[in-house]
Amino acid sequence: MGRKVTVATCALNQWALDFEGNLQRILKSIEIAKNRGARYRLGPELEICGYGCWDHYYESDTLLHSFQVLAALLESPVTQDIICDVGMPVMHRNVRYNCRVIFLNRKILLIRPKMALANEGNYRELRWFTPWSRSRHTEEYLLPRMIQDLTKQETAPFGDAVLATWDTCIGSEICEELWTPHSPHIDMGLDGVEIITNASGSHHVLRKANTRVDLVTMATSKNGGIYLLANQKGCDGDRLYYDGCAMIAMNGSVFAQGSQFSLDDVEVLTATLDLEDVRSYRAEISSRNLAASRASPYPRVKVDFALSCHEDLLAPVSEPIEWKYHSPEEEISLGPACWLWDFLRRSQQGGFLLPLSGGVDSAATACLVYSMCCQVCKSVRSGNQEVLADVRTIVNQISYTPQDPRDLCGHILTTCYMASKNSSQETCTRARELAQQIGSHHISLNIDPAVKAVTGIFSLVTGKSPLFAAHGGSSRENLALQNVQARIRMVLAYLFAQLSLWSRGIRGGLLVLGSANVDESLLGYLTKYDCSSADINPIGGISKTDLRAFVQFCIERFQLTALQSIVSAPATAELEPLADGQVSQTDEEDMGMTYAELSVYGKLRKVAKMGPYSMFCKLLGMWRHVCTPRQVADKVKWFFTKHSMNRHKMTTLTPAYHAENYSPEDNRFDLRPFLYNTSWPWQFRCIENQVLQLERAEPQSLDGVD
């Protein structure tokens, strides 16, 4: 009897409600898995309908169409002689569950509902699904008639069970269950399950790839066994980018690693592993075996099928590999670039329009589009026909083949420098030079006539002419005049996005790209409905510190020397009059804090879940060598005052790529009121009392801090 098994897992770029496309990608992955000799294929979570259906899960159509796709899969000759494990929503006794449906040769073996639902951060699974809470228990599920006609089964087992083939035992856990304190794989492994599968819908967050890998390797290191992880990959219709990283591990080592970012819609990993390696590894861990002897058994669904072949002595087995991680700068250059590509091709637009100011943020956004062009050219060179077809559709040229990223960038990116009398020559030059180096179609224009016209209307109606502070105006006048310039840029950006291709005799429109970073959004250091208002924002979840490092990375990786002067210049909005031709306004002065401090506030507020008082207490320790308690108190109060005053701006933030867990994105991630008592009287009094107490107690020890 054989003992070597070939198993397959995959990362698929599924799209919410794209049942046709999702079916084709599933079939393609099964076909590749079979061609490589696999006899079991695992796919991502809810792959049939796409993970990000959100409130569409409430619709009976979503359930109906998922079963129709399942019927097409059961009927297809591609799915014969391989155990297929697919994900879809299933309603059982009027309750909706997030399920795995496992089938073989037109028979449904098991429907396994998810038992621990993801419900924090970007996840809201408890809104649409109920967790299955009956551990090691199954019921009979009455199959829809269209499935009965194909499988000749009236019912199928539904619940928490495992599959027993002739040669091994397979158990399923779904995404979040791997992250829970007591994961199902523990008890399954103790009950003799040798292959654990995990179908995930896990999204990218900077510097987090190792968490998934560590959980999987630790699971198989403590308990032995083979572990398969499948994940969605790409943008399936919203702010998240699912970052693949499919993997196959055994006994604490990784045997196959999938890519984290790529433009391939279907990626299949296979490995051939020896079940005896699992058995001998487990047999010598006496503490595990003691626990196993007391384990409660799982219901087993018997499967007349083997994952191994009779004569497999000469079959080569897979070798362990070292997991390769991307640096944060590489993650930024690849994740948002792939997300932009999915957005562009799926929205069927002709490219992007980016207001390019000559500053770090818009330059970083331009670099992301250039990085996307590099990825597209690389994919086309490696023979990816789907990417080539998408490029030709976008540029509307049936014989176009992108060779050079600069050439492709010229077709799909229009950059626009919008000067005013408050703009310096330096930023204009920086924007133009960067546009030349990445190859974008570049426009320079002057907004002064429009600004004059708008302020002229106000003066005509009121008989008053507002002035900048530099010319004797009040702070209210100063701010209003800055905002008019900023908002006119947004109006012009949309006008050029709609008509600049038309003016060049090219079909289609452009998506407007925003470039406000996560720190500015958090503080509200932006004008509502200015150029931060766009169709999508690839850097809205990335901090200023990370963006600077990314721009530095682009200088070396892409030889974009024009970025040198951009990264070394102080950040400025250029909305106030110049002083002797020089910039008189800098972001950090305007904000009253540094970008580095802002990142710290952001992480403590959201990730560490701190209000003003807790943050003050935490920062007392963190900043004890650089600030007095009074200075810490002033900084914290200033941050919370500004953040709460500007919280209303978060409600209109442009949809941004989610990359940081301290994002203030108001749509689904960071849910808070937007009308605050911005003086925080109770909270700030608690801080004040604490400061006075510290100042009375330790006057000497505070003298040494400047």
The answer to whether 488 and 451 are in contact (CB under 8 A) is: yes
The 3-class secondary structure across 58-73, one letter per residue, is: HCHHHHHHHHHHHHHH
The DSSP annotation for 317-383 comes to: PPPPBPPP---HHHHHHHHHHHHHHHHHHHHT-S-EEEE--SSHHHHHHHHHHHHHHHHHHHHHHTT
Q: In the 8-state DSSP scheme, what is residue 654?
A: P
Q: What angle do CA 337, 339, 342 make, to 5 degrees?
A: 115
433: Cβ–Cβ under 8 A, 6 or more apart, which residues? 562, 565
Phi-psi bin for 78: left (phi > 0), alpha (psi -120 to 50), beta? alpha
The answer to whether 238 and 56 are in contact (CB under 8 A) is: no
The DSSP annotation for 447-485 comes to: -HHHHHHHHHHHHHHHS-----GGGT--HHHHHHHHHHH
Task: Go through the chain and tell me how many residues it has.
Answer: 706
Give the three-class secondary structure for 316.
Answer: coil
The answer to whether 45 and 51 are in contact (CB under 8 A) is: yes
**Angle (deg, nearest 10), helices 19-35 and 60-75:** 30
Q: Which structure tokens are listed for 523?
A: 């503080």
Q: What angle do CA 369, 374, 376 make, to 5 degrees?
A: 90
Query: What is the C-alpha to C-alpha distance for residues 612 and 639, in angstroms, rounded to an integer?
Result: 9
Query: What is the C-alpha to C-alpha distance for residues 420 and 232, in angstroms, rounded to an integer?
Result: 45
- Phi, psi of 571, rounded to the nearest 5 degrees: -70, 130
The DSSP annotation for 150-212 comes to: HH--SEEEEES-EEE-SS-EEEEEEGGGGGSTT-HHHHHHHTT--EEEEEE--B--TT-HHHH
The answer to whether 43 and 26 are in contact (CB under 8 A) is: yes
Phi-psi bin for 289: left (phi > 0), alpha (psi -120 to 50), beta? alpha
- Phi, psi of 4, rounded to the nearest 5 degrees: -95, 125
User: Where in the sequence numbering do the catalytic residues fall?
Assistant: 45, 114, 175, 357
The answer to whether 42 and 81 are in contact (CB under 8 A) is: no
Nearest CA to 169 among 279, 322, 254, 247?
Answer: 279
Q: How many CB atoms lie within 10 A of CB 644?
A: 20
* Sign of the four-CA dihedral 466, 467, 469, 473: negative
Query: What is the C-alpha to C-alpha distance for residues 679 and 50, in angstroms, rounded to an integer?
Result: 45
- Phi, psi of 332, rounded to the nearest 5 degrees: -65, -40
- Phi, psi of 108, rounded to the nearest 5 degrees: -85, 120
Q: In the 8-state DSSP scheme, what is residue 536?
A: B
Give the three-class secondary structure for 692.
Answer: helix
Count how many Cα atoms sit within 13 Å of the Cα of residue 273 in the half-sphere of its side chain: 27
540: Cβ–Cβ under 8 A, 6 or more apart, which residues? 514, 516, 517, 518, 521, 653, 654, 655, 656, 657, 663, 665
The answer to whether 226 and 357 are in contact (CB under 8 A) is: no
**Angle (deg, nearest 10), helices 681-697 and 612-622:** 30
User: Could you tell me the CA-to-CA distances from 500 to 86, 351, 429, 441, 496 in Å, in that order?
Assistant: 45, 11, 22, 10, 5
